Amino acid sequence: MRVLGVDPGSRYTGYGVVELREGRLCRIASGRVEAFRAEGLPQRLLVIYQELSQVIQTHQPLACSLEKIFHSVNPQSSLILGHARGAAMLACAEAGLEVFEYSPTEIKNAIVGQGRASKGQVAAMVTILLNLQGQKLTEDEADALAAGICHAHSASLGQIKRKG
C-alpha cells in the first residue's frame, strides 16, 4: 500500500509518500512545495496543484491522506488554508486517488499515541517509524509523512478487521 500524505499550506505544502510493505513502513519520497515565491494566491495554488500532480505521477500512490482544517482564530487564514487543501484535492482527484481526511488530533494520536502531542514529538516519532535517524525533515514534511502513516495504519487495521 502506497499513500501520499499532504500537509496543506498556502506558502509551504508538505508531502510524503509512504509505503507499507510486509508490515513495515518506509518513506518513498518527501519534501515540500514552496509556493510562497509565486505572486498572489491563484498562482500559489497553481504551484501546489502542479507540483503535487508531479509527485503523484512520479510515485504512483494509491490513496491520499490529507490533514483537515483545524479551526483557527483567524477566519481569513482558515479560508486560505481551505484553498490550498482544494488545490491538493484537485491534484489527487484528477489522478483518480481516493482522498481520506484526518484531523490533526487523529494524526497525532496515530503517530504519538497522544492527540495533543507537539510538532517535535510528531517529527521524532516519524523519524523512528520510518527509520530516518540522522536525516533532517522540515515541519511540513514530517507532518505530511505523519498523515500518510496515519492512513497506512488505519487502512491496514481496516483490512485486519475485515479478515477477522
Instruction: List the catalytic residue out of 51, 140, 141, 143.
Output: 140
| Amino acid type, 2 | R
Three-class SS state of 150 = helix
Burial class (CB in 10 A: 0-12, 13-18, 19+), 136: exposed
Residue closest to 111 by CA, chosen among 148, 136, 140, 61: 148
Burial class (CB in 10 A: 0-12, 13-18, 19+), 13: buried
C-alpha to C-alpha distance for 104 and 147, rounded to whole angstroms: 9
Instruction: List the catalytic residue out of 7, 51, 141, 143.
Output: 7
Q: Is 52 in contact with 91 (CB distance < 8 Å)?
A: yes
Instruction: List the catalytic residue out of 34, 39, 67, 139.
Output: 67
C-alpha to C-alpha distance for 41 and 48, rounded to whole angstroms: 11
Q: Is residue 67 flagged as an active site residue?
A: yes
Could you list the active site residues?
7, 67, 140
